[in-house]
Structure 1
Amino acid sequence: MNPNRPDQTRPITFQWALALTFVAWFVEVILTMLLRPALLRNGMQPMAAASLIRVACYGLVFSTLLHASGLSYRKLFHEGGASVAATLGLLGPPILLMVPLILLLDGLAMVGIEALLPFSADDARMITQMTSGGIGIWVLVCVIAPFVEEMFFRGILLRGMLGRYARADATVYSAFVFGVAHLNIYQFVIAFAIGLFAAALYCRTRSLWPGIVLHAGLNTGVMISAAMAPDSTALEAPLSVWALAVPLGLAGAWMLRRLLWYPRGAGAAEGQS
């Protein structure tokens, strides 16, 4: 890609964002048909193979869109007023402080959803397989997937919708598309909520790095929880866990508010007013 080529990113409608997500899903189906048998024959666990194929399909669609837009990777990842180091140094800690509380609240939401729509045998097996793929699945889920998905959903889709809609509308639309992309009601709830949060972070910083930190932290937390207590729910979490997660999460939220939203224009990592 020519770094001197002007940014030709065009506004994206909500319908186009859904269509592009469908294209990514269709590419995933094709790649699954072509690659999954070979990956399984070579000893890769089913969940690891599925994760690798999903990352590959989003990367393929994303790379095509990025090339068409003429957008450089540097500008895609960060074009805020503060440096990358300052953005990560200021916003990374409060974001990570919020992760345990977000996971517990998601667990409560899951309890309610499961009461209405109980897990099938396939859903339960998927959770068990999540942590049985060795170090490869951990790297894919906790490191590679956050990068690729943030680049696609916030770097391309949200960025495009911000050129078409008001910020609030683009935020909600992009979060909905992010939730739909997970293809099941259980993940839709947390994905929609995290999509709102990640979109808000991007709008305030014009950087993908805060969303990547959030995404990686949550995925890592989910993997650790699934490995340590695959059959437990948020209702069964020890009181000490809640006693630690709640104040830390609230402290993280307060710090982010002070840095990015209050007082307006005072956040050192804020990319725009």
Structure 2
Amino acid sequence: METIVTSTPILSKVPPTVTRSAYPTIAQSWGVLGWFLLLSLLVGIPTYLVLDKLLHVGKQTNAAILSVLINVALMLVLRRKAGRQWARIQWKGQAKPWIYAALPILVITYGIVASTLVELFHLPNWMETTFRDLVKQPLLALFLFCVSAPLLEELIFRGVMLTGLLRNYRPWVAISQSALLFGLMHMNPAQIVGAGLIGLLFGWLYYRTRSLSLCIVAHMFNNLLAFLAMTDAKLSKRETMREIFGTDLLFGLALLISVLLVVLIVWQIHKRTQTYEGLSVPAAV
């Protein structure tokens, strides 16, 4: 007699993997802007009064301390808000040495192109006097512009915000959203467009390499150029890229060469790196 064996599916005791969104979503990223404004009031005003009225700290030092404290407070709030949705920050990624070597050229040429675009809007610079006063204390300004701001801002906007957005949305949506908020959080019309354009470059670099360290170095170099321009007596008096290069011919050549170099370097980075698309954060079960 032939025995008929029927197979039945074996139920696995391992629960299925459930995915959930990382922090932040687009809605939550707008909340980051709200937290920044709120902390500017809750942390900024009391700290300013203590430093100014009780400790008699100079305005420049006061402004530097406030900038650091507000960004640190924002980072702590975001970590708490994210909770178990926190996406691990990528520090090294796949940034090769040749990308670091090309970074100064990319930042300089992209800066020329971005500055030319910003000049078309003729936006007011509400922070010009503050910046000019700050560079009168060069060591303090150098620390603020080239150390604390690049480190803390990249942690917030690329390390936390863009990392989460890239897991939730298409790359161009995530990069554009993080760049928009990066510009808006500078709270200065002349910087909103410029910082937004720089944010697009930093965001794309992070998307291609997943290297926060690369973005921090690029940010430091970009701010170092701005710092050197503000401390140079001749450059600080020239308001447009045309005035910096002196003639229309030199400016036109510099702009053309800058565009070509930006396209070339970006294309090479695009060809030689791989993206990390399709990542999701496993839900707790």
Report if TM-score (shorter chain) is over 0.5: yes
Identity %: 20
Contact 1:12 1:157 in 2 (8 A): yes
Q: What residue is the counterpart of 2:270 in the other structure?
A: 261
The answer to whether structure 1 residue 96 and structure 2 residue 109 are counterparts is no
Look up the SS of the partner of 2:211 in the other structure: coil
TM-score scaled by length of structure 2:
0.75
Q: What residue is the counterpart of 1:200 in the other structure?
A: 204
Contact 1:158 1:170 in 2 (8 A): yes
**1:92-241 → structure 2 map (5 Å cutoff):** 92-114=100-122, 117-119=123-125, 123-228=127-232, 229-233=235-239, 234-238=241-245
Shift of 1:134: 3.2
| Aligned residue type for 2:178 | S
Contact 1:175 1:192 in 2 (8 A): yes
The alignment covers a number of residue pairs equal to 250
Contact 1:100 1:245 in 2 (8 A): no
Q: 1:218, 1:124 → 2: CA distance? A: 18
Shift of 1:70: 6.0
Q: 2:217, 2:85 → 1: CA distance? A: 22
TM-score scaled by length of structure 1:
0.78
Contact 1:201 1:211 in 2 (8 A): yes
Q: 2:270, 2:140 → 1: CA distance? A: 38
Look up the SS of the partner of 1:113 in the other structure: coil
The structure with the largest alpha-carbon Rg is: 2
CA 1:215–1:60 in 2, change beyond 3 Å: closer, same or farther? Answer: same
Shift of 1:69: 4.0
Q: 2:224, 2:256 → 1: CA distance? A: 19
Which structure shows the bigger proportion of residues in helix conformation? 1
* CA deviation vs aligned residue, 1:121-140 (integer Å, no higher than 9, x gap): x5441231231233122112
* CA deviation vs aligned residue, 1:134-167 (integer Å, no higher than 9, x gap): 3122112111111111110111111121222111
Q: 1:63, 1:95 → 2: CA distance? A: 30
| Aligned residue type for 2:115 | G
For structure 2, the 5+ residue unaligned runs are 1-19, 278-285
Q: 2:124, 2:215 → 1: CA distance? A: 31
Shift of 1:219: 0.9
CA 1:123–1:144 in 2, change beyond 3 Å: closer, same or farther? Answer: closer
Q: What residue is the counterpart of 1:52 in the other structure?
A: 65
Contact 1:48 1:136 in 2 (8 A): yes
Contact 2:158 2:206 in 1 (8 A): yes
Q: 2:131, 2:118 → 1: CA distance? A: 13
Q: What residue is the counterpart of 2:47 in the other structure?
A: 35
Q: 1:249, 1:52 → 2: CA distance? A: 38
CA 1:255–1:102 in 2, change beyond 3 Å: closer, same or farther? Answer: closer
Contact 1:9 1:69 in 2 (8 A): no
Q: What residue is the counterpart of 1:62 in the other structure?
A: 75
Contact 2:209 2:275 in 1 (8 A): yes
* CA deviation vs aligned residue, 1:9-43 (integer Å, no higher than 9, x gap): 82422221111122022212222212223434656
Contact 1:31 1:57 in 2 (8 A): yes
Q: 1:156, 1:166 → 2: CA distance? A: 16
Look up the SS of the partner of 2:99 in the other structure: helix
Look up the SS of the partner of 1:163 in the other structure: helix
CA 1:173–1:248 in 2, change beyond 3 Å: closer, same or farther? Answer: closer
Q: 1:142, 1:246 → 2: CA distance? A: 28
